[in-house]
Amino acid sequence: MTRIALAPCSPFSVTPELMRETAELAREHGVLLHTHLAETADEEEFCLEKFGMRPVDYLEELGWLEGDVWLAHMVHVNADEIARIAGAGVGVAHCPSSNMLLGSGIAPIVEMLRAWVKVGLAVDGSASNDHSNMIREARQAMLVARVRYGAEAMPARRALKLATVGGAQVLHRADEIGSLEPGKCADLSLWDISRLEFSGAADPVAGLLHCGVQYADLVMVNGEILVKDGRLVNERLYDYIPRHREIARRLVSGD
């Protein structure tokens, strides 16, 4: 249930030495590498000014363009860069909600999939995506791809595949998770399709995204039920909500 990866936040926010040494350490111990890359136009401008190369070129210079790496965002990349990350076996964590909230742009996910890049979905962090809800992230991935490429480019089932099998492939765990098969972890999310929001949904699978569902009725992780009847089984977590709100209020007010 626990996996370790080495993950400097971004190659332009740390030293080149740290990036190279991190890659060496990860490969010495056989763990994966992760960072955020090509998220904003400002990042591209900074890399060109500071290092004389685009973010993907800089990552390759640091020895990171290999199959043990997965990258968040990848919004501002061109066709040649997509082909190179595909050839290197690099995975991509698509974060559509974060990219929209921050105005970063729309990642060319359809082009990546056509190039056989491994693509999964991610929610980024709470500072740039307040809901951190994977089923809603899948809906966002479906919608932004259709805005950019047309309605046929991202059917609901394709977006759901990114959220399940795609993520497992990016994390090099496709033999353990991502699909319901004998021998894999018992990871399940179940929805009651008799509820009002599903009314008229001829295809209940597509309805998970088209109807904009919010929370699963039951969630099982590795055989353990964590959500039942739409509520967390560990109800102690609800006790943190007032404290969380107070901390947020103080941060905003500067108290």
70 and 115 inside one domain: yes
Which domain, by its residues, includes 97? Answer: 5-178
93 and 165 inside one domain: yes
CA dist., res. 8 & res. 27, Å (int): 15
190 and 173 inside one domain: no
| Residue % of the chain over a pLDDT of 90 | 87
pLDDT of res. 214: 87
H helices of the chain, where? 16-29, 41-51, 55-61, 79-88, 96-101, 109-114, 134-149, 156-161, 167-170, 204-210, 240-253
CA distances from 205 to 159, 185, 192, 198, 214 (A): 11, 21, 12, 10, 14
CA dist., res. 231 & res. 238, Å (int): 10
Global pTM value:
0.93
pLDDT of 248 > 90? The answer is no
Stretch 162-167: mean pLDDT, rounded?
97
Domain boundary among the residues 178, 200, 215 is at: 178
pLDDT of res. 239: 93
**Residue bearing tokens 């960072």:** 35
pLDDT of res. 125: 84
Domain boundary among the residues 151, 178, 205 is at: 178
Higher pLDDT, 127 or 42: 42
CA distances from 94 to 16, 25, 37, 125, 197 (A): 25, 26, 11, 13, 27
85 and 135 inside one domain: yes
Predicted confidence band at 39 (pLDDT cuts at 50, 70, 90)? Answer: very high
CA dist., res. 141 & res. 150, Å (int): 13
pLDDT of 127 > 80? The answer is no
pLDDT of 219 > 80? The answer is yes
- Per-residue pLDDT tens for 175-204? 999 999 999 999 999 999 998 989 889 999
65 and 171 inside one domain: yes
203 and 149 inside one domain: no
Predicted confidence band at 126 (pLDDT cuts at 50, 70, 90)? Answer: confident
pLDDT of 130 > 90? The answer is no
Q: How many domains does the chain have?
A: 2
108 and 158 inside one domain: yes
24: CB partners within 8 A, 6+ apart: none
136 and 157 inside one domain: yes
What is the average pLDDT score of the chain? 95
- Per-residue pLDDT tens for 70-103? 999 999 999 999 999 999 999 999 999 999 999 9
* Strand ranges of the sheet holding 224-228, from the earlier edge strand across to the other edge: 188-190, 218-221, 224-228, 231-232
CA dist., res. 226 & res. 3, Å (int): 20
* CATH, residue 224: 2.30.40.10
